[in-house]
Structure 1
Amino acid sequence: MSRQISSLLAIAAVCVTLAPAPAFAQAPKKAAPVDCEQVKCLALTFDDGPGKYAGTLLDTLKKYDAKATFFLEGQYVKSRPAFVKRMVAEGHEVGNHSYSHPDFTKSEPGTIRNEIKKTQDAVKKAAGVEPKLLRPPYGLADLQTADVATEFGMPMILWTAGSEDWASKNVDAIKKKTMEVAQPNGIILMHDWVKQTVDAMPALIKSLQKKGYHLVTVSDIVKGQNLQPGDIFPVPAGWEK
């Protein structure tokens, strides 16, 4: 072997020895699931969206590490798919709230099926997932609605209390009402098309977290309920299945 080749080999060996070990990117750690039997949980739910203020709302939820459930209307999923994709990417839950918000209790079964299916398809196209939960428009359901929900394998989700944001459209009133009705394992009705709701969220989330609430998805809240397709929760007074 020539002296020149020997020198080059020696230099190469030194370079290999001194080269830093390759850095392997670590996958981000997933947050541990919240056990709502052990800690105070609350689900904030937003109907009729995604509304035009959804991006600001998502920024706030991300800042305070809070999760929410969005019951979406297919017509707005179609016009604002980027918000839906972001909701899913950031760990929020998306549910089905019909395509155009008719009263299911005054609709034919075929209409109900079409409303649910079109929204399922729109969400799947926007975010690659299909909602697992149905919130009937106006929170109105009957046995016929339950039968159609069963066909889609979906339980129906109502709420334990509302923020009344659609009526007041006042930041202080929305915060006050939500704090009054908040309870462990509660499901709060809100709307992301109400600007005052989105404006209230930073202070509201901080107040709820200060009281020890973990803001989680509806599925976290109902995990122990063993809901079956067509079931409704919370069960309305007089509901018989």
Structure 2
Amino acid sequence: MRKRNVAVVAAGVLLLAGCGGAERPRAEQAGRNAALRDGTSAPASRSPRPAPREIDCARVKCVALTFDDGPGPHTPELLDTLRAAGARATFFVQGLHVPEHPAVVRRMVREGHEIGNHTWNHPNLTTLSPGEIRSQIERTQRAVKDAAGVVPAMMRPPYRAIDAQVIDAVGMPVILWSVDPQDWRRDDVARNVKIGLRDSGRGDIVLYHDVHATTVRAMPKIVSGLQKQGFTLVTVSELFGDERLKAGEVYTEREIEPTPVRASPPPSGSPAGP
């Protein structure tokens, strides 16, 4: 049976910016240019996060699609796909890319998606000191807050590389995955669709990368295919719901307990047993 989460209890490695008044017009123009690059318009003010959806993934067939390494030039197209389908996802962003695409990050929040921390520039955290690990996390937290007014509440380590020191320094729930189509290996839309539909199951956390054009082009068929199979596409927090994610624990999926099936009573006059 697959485990819902894994608490790290040993030290071994588990691998499985301000402007002055004279600079303000220039900064505003840079923001407009970034919005044009992102394919979306930058709002004058940050839109509030939409109200949480009432989804009970203990009763509903849920899958959490997650996307690493962005935001990037293909992310707006992915957001279009998710919006058209009424689907939500979790984006584990690299901090250094957030100032390049701030309007995209704001749009993620505005449309109900979740943002997680994927470090500043994607190092193997097990090779860093605690101070360096905290710097990777804190710089990304600040970048997301500056762009969208929210602070990530979960993180994902690059290369799935973690140990007890990393868990302690990060200070947040660590989200891994249970399905990995390895979309970064090959630019193959059909392969991404096939694996995504074949391997994704109830309670799974699925790993994709929104920096790859072929992944984004595969998403319309993946999203519609999963929905046709009866899945609701949710954020990681929605997947776990009342089972609150805890700092110091590592999550790969949500294990859904089967609902007991009560035997129907035999029809009147029928024998009660074999």
After TM superposition, the score normalised by the length of structure 1 is: 0.82
**In 2, Cα distance between equivalents of 1:227 and 1:92:** 17
Residues 58 and 146 from structure 1, CA distance in 2 versus in 1: closer, same or farther, beyond 3 angstroms? Answer: same
Pairing partner for 1:55 from 76, 93, 98: 76
Q: Which amino acid aligns with 2:80?
A: D
Runs of 4+ in 1 over 4 A off after TM superposition: 29-32
1:78 equivalent to 2:99? Answer yes
1:155-208 Cα shifts (integer Å, max 9, x gaps): 100001112110122000000111121010100000001101110111111110
Alignment of 1:13-52 (within 5 A): 32-52=53-73
Question: Considering only aligned residues, what root-mean-square deviation do their CA atoms show, in Å?
Answer: 1.4
Deviation at 1:113, TM superposition (A): 0.5
Match of 1:113 in 2: 134
After TM superposition, the score normalised by the length of structure 2 is: 0.72
Pairing partner for 2:176 from 158, 164, 168: 158
1:123 equivalent to 2:144? Answer yes
**In 1, Cα distance between equivalents of 2:78 and 2:244:** 30
**In 2, Cα distance between equivalents of 1:62 and 1:221:** 18
**In 2, Cα distance between equivalents of 1:234 and 1:200:** 23
**In 1, Cα distance between equivalents of 2:53 and 2:113:** 15
The structure carrying a bigger helix percent of its residues is 1
Pairing partner for 1:133 from 150, 154, 157: 154
Farther off after superposition, 226-235 or 37-46: 226-235
Q: Percent identity?
A: 46
Alignment of 1:1-12 (within 5 A): none
Asked if the contact 2:237/2:245 (under 8 Å) is kept, the reply is no
**In 2, Cα distance between equivalents of 1:114 and 1:30:** 32
Asked if the contact 1:166/1:194 (under 8 Å) is kept, the reply is yes
Farther off after superposition, 168-177 or 220-229: 220-229
**In 2, Cα distance between equivalents of 1:48 and 1:94:** 12
**In 2, Cα distance between equivalents of 1:181 and 1:37:** 20
**In 2, Cα distance between equivalents of 1:112 and 1:183:** 33
Q: Secondary structure at the match of 1:168?
A: coil
**In 1, Cα distance between equivalents of 2:174 and 2:242:** 15
Asked if the contact 2:115/2:152 (under 8 Å) is kept, the reply is yes
Asked if the contact 2:57/2:240 (under 8 Å) is kept, the reply is no
Match of 2:15 in 1: none
Asked if the contact 1:96/1:120 (under 8 Å) is kept, the reply is yes
Match of 1:217 in 2: 235
Q: Secondary structure at the match of 1:189?
A: strand
Asked if the contact 1:148/1:230 (under 8 Å) is kept, the reply is no
**In 2, Cα distance between equivalents of 1:144 and 1:73:** 21
Considering only CA atoms, is the larger Rg found in Structure 1 or Structure 2?
A: 1
1:67-88 Cα shifts (integer Å, max 9, x gaps): 0000000000121111101000
1:16-74 Cα shifts (integer Å, max 9, x gaps): xxxxxxxxxxxxx9574211011100000000000210000001100000000000000
**In 2, Cα distance between equivalents of 1:31 and 1:101:** 30
What is the number of residues matched between the two proteins?
204
**In 1, Cα distance between equivalents of 2:126 and 2:240:** 24
Match of 2:187 in 1: 169
